[in-house]
Amino acid sequence: MSSSDPRTRRVITRAWQIPTCEGWIWSIEPDPETGLGGAGHACKARASHHIAAVRYTGGAHTPADRDVCRAHLAAELDHLRREHAWTWRLQRVAMPAPTITALTLTVDVRGWAHGHKRWHLTETDATTTVIALELFSTSPPIPTPPPRRDRTARPGAPAPQLALFTL
C-alpha cells in the first residue's frame, strides 16, 4: 500500500477490538417536557463508520470521535450539526465540519489458514460519498474464509479394477 493511498489498515485479533456503535437506543423515551427519565441501552451493533469531530466545551476544542452503525450515522451527524450551530450562535466560534471514515472488516485468510483468528479493519474516507443508511442497526456478516482442506481426509486413488473376478 503506497503512502498516497487514503486507506489505512489495522489488524484485529480480538473480538472486543472490533469497533461497535456508540449510538443510543431508547426503550422508554424520556419525558418530552423535562427531558428526564427514560431507559435505554447502547446500540453495540458493529460500527460501519467513524465520525471524527470536534466539540466546543469549556472554552476549548475537544475531540469528540464516535463509531456508529448505518442506523445511527444520520442522527449523530444531525446532533453534531445542531450543537455546532448553537456554538456559533452563542460563542461565535466556527467549528470544523466532521470527517467520516468508512470501516470495512475483512477476514485475514492467510492468518486463518495458519490457525490465527485475524481480521483487517480498513478505513476509507467517506466524507463526500453517498452512504446508504438503515432504519435498524444490523451487523452485516463478515465473509468467512474458505474451509480448510485436510490432506488426510482426501480420498486416495481408486483401487485398480480386478477384471479377473468379473469373468
| Residues engaged in binding Zn ion (CB under 5 A) | 21, 23, 43, 45, 69, 71-72, 137
User: Please, what is the minimum distance in Å from the beta carbon of residue 66 to Zn ion?
Assistant: 10
C-beta of residue 1 within 8 angstroms of C-beta of residue 29: no
Nine cell digits for residue 54: 470536534
C-beta of residue 102 within 8 angstroms of C-beta of residue 73: no
User: Please, what is the minimum distance in Å from the beta carbon of residue 138 to Zn ion?
Assistant: 9
Based on CB atoms, which residue is closest to Zn ion, 72 or 95?
72
User: Please, what is the minimum distance in Å from the beta carbon of residue 69 to Zn ion?
Assistant: 3
- Determine the Cα–Cα distance for residues 21 and 26; give it in Å rounded to an integer: 14
Based on CB atoms, which residue is closest to Zn ion, 29 or 31?
29
Based on CB atoms, which residue is closest to Zn ion, 85 or 142?
142
- Determine the Cα–Cα distance for residues 140 and 121; give it in Å rounded to an integer: 14
